[in-house]
Amino acid sequence: MARIELKALAHSYKPNPTEPSDYALRPMDMVWQSGRAYALLGPSGCGKTTLLNIISGLVTPSHGQVLFDGTDVTRASPEQRNIAQVFQFPVVYDTMTVAENLAFPLRNRKLPKPEIATRVAEVAEMLELTPVLKRRARGLDADEKQKISLGRGLVRKDVAAILFDEPLTVIDPHLKWQLRRKLKEVHEQVRTSLIYVTHDQVEALTFADEVIVMYDGQVVQIGTPQALFERPAHTFVGYFIGSPGINLLPCVVDQGDAVVDGGRIPLSAAMLQGVAGFLQGGAGTLEIGIRPEFLEIADSGVPAAVTAVDDLGTHAIVTLRLGSATVKAKLGEDRRLSGDTAFLRFPPERTLLYADSRLVG
Ligand SMILES: Nc1ncnc2c1ncn2[C@@H]1O[C@H](COP(=O)(O)OP(=O)(O)OP(=O)(O)O)[C@@H](O)[C@H]1O
């Protein structure tokens, strides 16, 4: 397995890019540590597949370098980089048995037969394919075929990294959860470097040691699932991760408070210090961010009109109107609301400030 480094990497599919919007990937520097599981998360079109294909060698970047353990592989093929890949749709040989399919990458590398047999048995066991090992792939359903693809990705121990491009898309929803857990377990056993592309936050958060969130051709945050939830570095991360997403309220800063439409929210010294330079610039957008989980309904505070309460059994989502903005609060089942007006408290340690979409302080 390899430590993967991207140096001043950018990519445009256009021959003469000039505008930032001409780039599928904007300039980035990044290090992927050996042996970790990364999820590449973002909406459709943000550049995930382009980045994955640059790491694998299927696409040569228009700018910058890719290094594997310090060696420049920018122009090397996937075979030369020693990468295993699992795609969205199963890649299996229908006329071969499941065991032959799993053995294929090892036979290609001319491993001794006993070693191949042992490894195939191990991987089949991990993915619960043992009962069908002797069956031809042709007769199997899409779920089992994709498990074979996953197995072929996992079977070689000597790969630099295994790259997955939305591998669970074709899998039946009730099996997805199980396979995701399985992949995590397998990773804990093999500790190969894994990069897993998905647009599904649950998939990313349950699978990865670290999640890389992409938006509009840029990496906007790299962090543990907890960090992405508690301190989104960009408003997009706050909105994309969590359900419902983060509340964002346009504000101005006045005498140490954020003034929102409807009330004042005290800011910490660190936030005020962080935002000072931005305020001197005089232009741009400031927003208060708070997760629905952390917004409190108290006996006093910023008044807001309750517009809806959705009782979801274990908790309720309360929708409130604050000036011209709408906010949501997640309440435990022990909390009850009385009346049409609620008072909102913004706990300082949970309240975030964003300047032009970037976290301040
Ligand atoms: N071969 C190509 N030629 C030209 N433009 C491309 C090509 N492949 C991707 N793009 C463009 O590059 C941008 C990033 O696409 P990419 O497929 O990397 O995003 P993604 O995040 O993987 O999206 P999805 O989840 O839909 O696959 C998009 O605007 C897309 O239209």
Amino acid 178: pLDDT:
82
How far apart CA 170 and CA 162 sit, in angstroms, is 19
How far apart CA 56 and CA 175 sit, in angstroms, is 28
Share of the chain above pLDDT 90, in %: 70
Distance from Cα 310 to the centre of ligand 1, integer Å = 37
Distance from Cα 233 to the centre of ligand 1, integer Å = 24
For the cut 90, the answer to whether the pLDDT of residue 143 exceeds it is no
How far apart CA 326 and CA 295 sit, in angstroms, is 13
How far apart CA 15 and CA 38 sit, in angstroms, is 31
Directed axis angle between helix 173-190 and helix 113-126, to 10°?
130
Nearest CA to ligand 1 atom 24: 44
Would you say the CB of residue 199 lies under 6 angstroms from ligand 1? yes
Would you say the CB of residue 14 lies under 6 angstroms from ligand 1? no
pTM (2 d.p.): 0.89
Q: Which of 96-100, 139-143, 300-304 ranks highest by mean pLDDT?
A: 96-100
- pLDDT tens digits for range 297-330: 988 889 999 999 998 888 899 999 998 899 999 9
Residue 203 near residue 39, CB atoms below 8 Å: yes
For the cut 90, the answer to whether the pLDDT of residue 276 exceeds it is no
Would you say the CB of residue 46 lies under 6 angstroms from ligand 1? yes
Would you say the CB of residue 24 lies under 6 angstroms from ligand 1? yes
Q: Which atom of ligand 1 is nearest to the CA of 49?
A: 22
Contacts of 315 by beta carbon, 8 Å cutoff, 6+ apart: 330, 331, 332, 333
Closest CA to 250 of 288, 220, 278: 288
Compute the mean pLDDT over every residue in the chain, rounded to the nearest whole number: 92
More confident residue, 283 or 171: 171
- pLDDT tens digits for range 74-93: 999 998 999 999 998 888 99
Would you say the CB of residue 192 lies under 6 angstroms from ligand 1? no
CA 256 to chain centre: 35
Question: What ipTM is given for this predicted complex?
Answer: 0.98
Nearest CA to ligand 1 atom 8: 50
Give me the helices (H) in the chain, please.
48-56, 78-81, 98-108, 113-126, 142-154, 173-190, 201-207, 225-230, 235-240, 269-281
